[in-house]
Structure 1
Amino acid sequence: MAEQSLERARALIELGRSDEARVMLGRILALEPEDAEALLALSLAEADDEPRSSLETARRVLALEPENLQALLLCVDACHELNRVKEAEHYARLAVAEAPWLGAAHAGLAQALGRRRGRGRYKEAKETAQRAIELDPQGAFGYVAAGNVEMAHGEWKEAERWYRKALDVDPSDRNAQINLVTAQESRGRISPALTEAVALLQTDPRDKYALEVLHETVYTTVVHLLWIAAVFLIVAAVIRGE
């Protein structure tokens, strides 16, 4: 019965019904609090909306199974969401040591290194992202990680290039879609950024990240328009004064 409930919870997570999955997993864990598979599923269900809880749940798995790769990767993702960069690097290095063949582990490490200061970190981050791409050229995560490294260092044009490569591999990758808009906006390319932001919401009108990106893009557009209007008014005043 517990196995069937666990499979049902996993299916609910796949369908985006994480709230229902959490309730079901809570019942399983009430009876078997050290069920590592149920804890992993719970951490995954918490990942999008409750990164702090996801991290703590994944740590419970690691207390039971210190080399559990999925738990390590969930810790990496949660730490990134919580801006706990040193911890993200720690868990990512453990994941790489556990699975040096896994591109996703290298991608997580690249992103953590990219957010650390220092030229040496930047170089290592770029090399690690490249390693992720080499290990899995058909996975978008390596290209996204490379873009995130460049964006963390203000290299917006390079970041945009990597996000476009990620979308060539997987046009539906949400991280690449959202970060592409951010890179375009940061480069002052407001019109493409606004178009991409609207396209994101057409795909999923409830996407909170897309809504935030659209809000920021519209705000930036309005600021630019107000600045242009102010310049025209100043020029007109100068001309009239002459």
Structure 2
Amino acid sequence: MSEPIAAVVLRAAELTARGLPLQAIELLRPALVANPLHAEAWCRLAAAHLDAGEPDAAKRALVLGGDQAWAQRLTSLALTELGRHTEALVAARECVRRRPGDWRCQVVLAEALAAGGREPVGRGTATREATGGEAAGREAVEVAREATRLAPTEARPYQVLGDAALRLRDWGTAERAYRTALRLDPDADDVRANLATVRRKRGGAPVTAPSADALGAADALVWPALSRLAALLVAGGLVLTLAALPRPTPLLGWFSAALVAACLAVVARLLLGARGGTRRALLRLPRSRPLVAVVAAAFGLALVVLSGWSVALLLGAGTTQPLVVAWLCALLGGAVVVLRGGR
């Protein structure tokens, strides 16, 4: 019996991920009639109810036994949707207690704290309640920081950290968190909107982070330009190396300078040919495309060394070592371009 229910649970998870929670619920209910003690199936049913906007039904679907951390996490989400923040906070703390190394539990706790759930501050004035709320907000920031430490490559913890910091008016922390979340997930429009809000609150200009389409257009433009740079630097460097034997002359300095000028013309043509958001995306492309960053760094170093060597030749120097270094950097960048498939 375990194999059929396992297959049903897997199919229900796929339906929920595709945005079809009602079909997942219809699939799970008859399976749970035959397997009433299958804890994972109950948790999947609760998750489907949550996605369907039925938090009360989600809470009823949770059972004891099985993965308690998962059950408590879903319970906290359901109670938060119902507005029962204190109970949601209790469930979230229990989730963290059972599985402190799970970043999802930390995220749920941060959300419960930031949503208004806080532990009782005792009988007192409204000032004490406000103080308790501020303490809960600070704790939400710290818990979200822990989630980012546990999952540095996930965008969700950084988004929750930004939301918690935004509630405390900690603009610097919120902006840094939202920027990181956008770098990990460029399609998160809600994060982009919150980042613009933070910048307005700080008195700065709104941030228009490049969209995925702009980054794609920039990527399509940059590789042909990098291919031309590779051809210029590798071929030109090789010709200069051969011409410099056995000893370079000041005349080679002018040819080297011409090679640098040709490379800069390729870069200028790339930047001038891009428009609007694509040009901004070009400047930020190395952050999201590691291969672009590697090639740009190699070609940039080659141009700097080549420029210095040109000036040195014109001043009377007679060494070829900088030229060899520049050519090796160009060769490294050119190899990456070839392996990438640029033509």
- What TM-score do you get using the length of structure 2 for normalisation? 0.48
Unpaired stretches in structure 1, ≥5 consecutive residues: 201-242
Identity over aligned pairs, percent: 30
Partner residue in 1 for 2:92? 92
> What does residue range 183-194 of structure 1 map to in structure 2 within 5 Å?
184-185=196-197, 187=200
Residues 156, 184 of structure 1: 8 Å contact kept: no
Task: Find out whether 1:141 has 2:145 as its counterpart.
Answer: no
> What does residue range 66-105 of structure 1 map to in structure 2 within 5 Å?
68-105=68-105
| Separation (CA, whole Å) in 2 of partners of 1:56 and 1:152 | 31
Partner residue in 1 for 2:10? 7
Distance 1:136 1:3, change over 3 A: closer
CA positional deviation for 1:157: 6.3
CA positional deviation for 1:14: 2.3
Q: 1:52 is aligned with what amino acid?
A: D
CA positional deviation for 1:9: 1.9
Distance 1:108 1:25, change over 3 A: same
CA positional deviation for 1:17: 1.8
| Separation (CA, whole Å) in 2 of partners of 1:131 and 1:3 | 33
| Separation (CA, whole Å) in 2 of partners of 1:104 and 1:52 | 21
Residues 110, 124 of structure 1: 8 Å contact kept: yes
| Separation (CA, whole Å) in 1 of partners of 2:105 and 2:9 | 26
CA positional deviation for 1:96: 1.2
Residues 113, 124 of structure 1: 8 Å contact kept: yes
| 1:56 aligned to which of 57, 60, 68 | 60
| Separation (CA, whole Å) in 1 of partners of 2:97 and 2:145 | 17
Residues 163, 179 of structure 1: 8 Å contact kept: yes
1:27-80 Cα deviation digits (max 9, x unpaired): 11222333212111111111222222222223xx2x234x62211221222233
- What TM-score do you get using the length of structure 1 for normalisation? 0.66
Residues 133, 142 of structure 1: 8 Å contact kept: yes
CA positional deviation for 1:97: 0.9
CA positional deviation for 1:126: 1.8
Task: Find out whether 1:166 has 2:169 as its counterpart.
Answer: no
| Separation (CA, whole Å) in 1 of partners of 2:57 and 2:82 | 11
> What does residue range 37-52 of structure 1 map to in structure 2 within 5 Å?
37-48=40-51, 49-52=53-56
| Separation (CA, whole Å) in 2 of partners of 1:108 and 1:149 | 12
Residues 108, 145 of structure 1: 8 Å contact kept: no
Question: What is the root-mean-square deviation of aligned Cα atoms in Å?
Answer: 3.0
Residues 196, 206 of structure 2: 8 Å contact kept: yes
Partner residue in 2 for 1:181? 193
Unpaired stretches in structure 2, ≥5 consecutive residues: 119-129, 213-343
Report the more deviating stretch, 144-153 or 22-31.
Answer: 144-153
Q: Which of 1 and 2 has higher RCO (CA within 8 Å, sep 6+)?
A: 2
| Separation (CA, whole Å) in 1 of partners of 2:149 and 2:166 | 21
Residues 36, 64 of structure 1: 8 Å contact kept: yes
